Structure 1
Amino acid sequence: MDNPSSTSDSLLAGSSGGAAELRGALFLVLEYLRLPELLTLRQVCRAYRDSIAADELIWRHISVEPPLNSRLTDDALLRITSFTRGNLTSLALLDCRRITDDGLLQVVNRNPSIKKLYIPGCSSLTPDGIVRVVKQLAEHNGYLECLRLQGLHQIKAVHFHVLNSLLYQSNPRAASHPHFYRDFCSVRYNIDDGRPMDVDICPKCNNVRMIFDCPREDCRMMRNKRNACRGCFLCIERCGECGGCLDPEEVVEEIACLHLLCAGCWLHLPKCTTCNSPCCKQDAAAFGFSSADFALPTSSFGLSLLPTLKSCGI
């Protein structure tokens, strides 16, 4: 039986015009392929392998996502990043639990031009190891613009201050942006939200976690109220739909999802046709609920309350 690789090479070599057109089309689609697709395409034939290896632009941004993340080791990461020839600028390792401090440090040593580093959920990394990585980039005149640490544990205030100072040193014009819980729920990994780092010191418990601001206009207009409802998800209860802060008497218990809901979202959201309880959009998508399972509120009482709640900022 013929080798598929040699057969593909012979077909490409058989027609120079066809090979040129194929390579031209290949270059147009390479930048849109994810990492597993690129690695698979390299095994088709020598022409594909050489074309992909020669294109440095597609290897400047590497993102390892499920399901490849569960199999990624330090050695595999070094082999993949070797294609960049030291020109890697963005590295995203999403829930890569087998990546260690030494492996990440070797990648950084070979690619000192990394500007964006996303390592959420990489539980084998330690805070001290992350500090060494960021210091290594700073010592090599690196320009680290963005660092994502969501899901990493045991980060203390001393680690945060060191990382924050190094990031500010690299990007002194970085401005703080509000971070809302609803954005965190809709997109698990907020990569390009304008913040240098996704964690902060909670003003309530003084732990390093993701800190959320309140999107409600009345809370944002009053300075004291704005500071009072800013904190981590453990210190301040928030609505899973709008992300607003919740008072204990405002929490509605009759819901069909895992998140809390405020009264305004409880009325707006479609209700379950069986139990008449609403479900936030995030859980509805996660549980695979369809529009047939839920119906929009049609009661005159509920609809009459919507303008009043909206005028009150709910």
Structure 2
Amino acid sequence: METPPAAENLFPSIPTGDAAEPHRALFFVLGYLRLPELLAFRQVCRAFSDEISANETLWRHIIVEPPLSTRIRDDILLWITSFARGNLKSLALLRCWRVTDASLLHVLDQNPYITKLCIPGCTALTADGAVRAVMRLAEHKGHLECLRLNGLCNIKREHLNVLKSLLCKNRQQEAFHASFYSGWSSLALGSDDGRPIDVDICPKCKNVGMVFDCTREECRTKRNRWSQCRGCFFCIPRCEECGGCVDEDELGEDTACSHVLCAGCWLQLPKCDTCNRPCCKQDLKAQALSSAGFVCDQCRDSELL
């Protein structure tokens, strides 16, 4: 497939070279590169460009994630996936808000043996388009095993029922897989929690979305209690650290981050040296943490005034 003009500007700062033949050992690195580095290597010299374009095994598992995802349009997606030559096995599009239903359907037509499809946060894609995509794979006798739709807008119960029937058509009844908020918040695109589809119907609000189980031991050991605190994040507040349900009397606990924390994690996490409020580990990475402690953003800003 001819390179679209927009693809030439993905890495404008890297010049194309022809001068020296790269050392053969460098070619063994290609299989370990992420998509941005792989595209950048194509621009280094003709030898790399020819090898990367011809070696379809480098393109069987494609992950498009920020910041590259904001620059991926339909024509660029079709160009990137064309290197797989119909042998694409997994495709993960994370927040690719320019990708449309038409281009996704075209990619699946050209690669009918995809087993894993992740399209979270792709706001230009529709629930109807996702159903058509999975149906198209089923028509091609494909074996889609993993579908990730979190962040896709307007998924209804009818969409979910069709998707589940298609995904489970050739699968035996599997054991129940619990879904924990603490695991989802740090879930890597390459990982698999064993569930064919990530969204479900919330037993509280009846909307389709991410539904989580409780990690608290006292909730897990009591069947009635476990079912009561199972639901989406909007219905059941959950601790950012442990993923357990948070009681109403714990919601008032002040934190140095924007996340909810249970009382147990509130006590254990590092506190701001100034205001003595805790910060979750995810947001703590952005703070200037040292052996002496840290000062939260709010206190640091107030000191500058």
Residue 189 of structure 1 and its aligned partner are, at CA, apart by 5.1
**1:1-314 correspondence runs (5 A):** 5-8=17-20, 12=21, 22-23=23-24, 25-187=25-187, 191-285=191-285, 287-291=286-290, 292-294=292-294
Give the AA of the match of 1:290. Answer: L
The question of whether the paired residues in 2 share the 8 Å contact of 1:238 and 1:244 is answered with yes
Residue 254 of structure 1 and its aligned partner are, at CA, apart by 2.4
Superposed CA deviations along residues 253-303 of structure 1, whole A, max 9, x for unmatched, are: 222121122111111111111011111112222x434134449xxxxxxxx
* Structure 2 CA distance for partners of 1:86 and 1:165, relative to 1, 3 Å: same
The question of whether the paired residues in 2 share the 8 Å contact of 1:123 and 1:153 is answered with yes
SS of the counterpart of 2:169?
Answer: helix
Identity %: 60
* Structure 2 CA distance for partners of 1:74 and 1:170, relative to 1, 3 Å: farther
The question of whether the paired residues in 1 share the 8 Å contact of 2:287 and 2:294 is answered with no
Give the AA of the match of 1:272. Answer: C
Residue 252 of structure 1 and its aligned partner are, at CA, apart by 4.5
- Which blocks of at least 5 consecutive residues in structure 1 are unaligned? 13-18, 296-314
- Which blocks of at least 5 consecutive residues in structure 2 are unaligned? 1-14, 296-305
Give the AA of the match of 1:7. Answer: A
Superposed CA deviations along residues 158-206 of structure 1, whole A, max 9, x for unmatched, are: 0001001111114335443111111122337584121111110000010
CA distance in 1, matches of 2:211, 2:185: 13
Judge which range, 162-171 or 108-117, deviates more: 162-171
Greater Cα radius of gyration, structure 1 or 2: 1
Give the AA of the match of 1:180. Answer: F
CA distance in 2, matches of 1:154, 1:116: 22
CA distance in 1, matches of 2:162, 2:270: 46
Corresponding residue for residue 4 of structure 2: none
* Structure 2 CA distance for partners of 1:240 and 1:92, relative to 1, 3 Å: same
- The structure with more helix, counted as a fraction of residues: 1
TM-score by length of 1: 0.84
* Structure 2 CA distance for partners of 1:189 and 1:274, relative to 1, 3 Å: farther
Corresponding residue for residue 305 of structure 1: none
The question of whether the paired residues in 1 share the 8 Å contact of 2:146 and 2:196 is answered with yes
The question of whether the paired residues in 1 share the 8 Å contact of 2:59 and 2:88 is answered with yes
Give the AA of the match of 1:118. Answer: C
* Structure 2 CA distance for partners of 1:75 and 1:222, relative to 1, 3 Å: same
CA distance in 1, matches of 2:189, 2:97: 16
* Structure 2 CA distance for partners of 1:221 and 1:105, relative to 1, 3 Å: same
TM-score by length of 2: 0.87
SS of the counterpart of 1:7?
Answer: coil
Judge which range, 167-176 or 198-207, deviates more: 167-176
